[in-house]
Amino acid sequence: MTTGYICSPRLYEYEGIKFEVPLIGAPWPLKKDGEPKKRAGRKFYEMFLRFMALPEEERDTYRIGGGCRRF
């Protein structure tokens, strides 16, 4: 039996803002329909700094999807 993995950016919702955090690259805010927003401004990055200041276990409580899955 072959095992494989499929990975996507981790998805979070914090302070009412949905965003993705890829393994490589910068975090990015998402629209309500899940599509990436055109711009990530100062407000988003200020929120993201607060988010990253949380302990890892607490950040995981805000995770709503994404990551790696084995099949």
pLDDT of residue 69: 86
How many angstroms separate the Cα of 22 from the Cα of each of 2, 3, 9, 29? 26, 23, 4, 12
Tens digits of per-residue pLDDT, 19-60? 999 989 999 999 999 999 999 999 999 999 999 999 999 999
Q: Of the candidates 68, 71, 70, which has an alpha carbon nearest to the alpha carbon of residue 22?
A: 68
pTM above 0.85, yes or no: yes
Q: Phi and psi at residue 39, in whole multiples of 5°? A: -135, 150
Alpha carbons 9 and 29: distance in angstroms, whole number: 12
* Bridge partner residues of 12 (DSSP): 19, 63
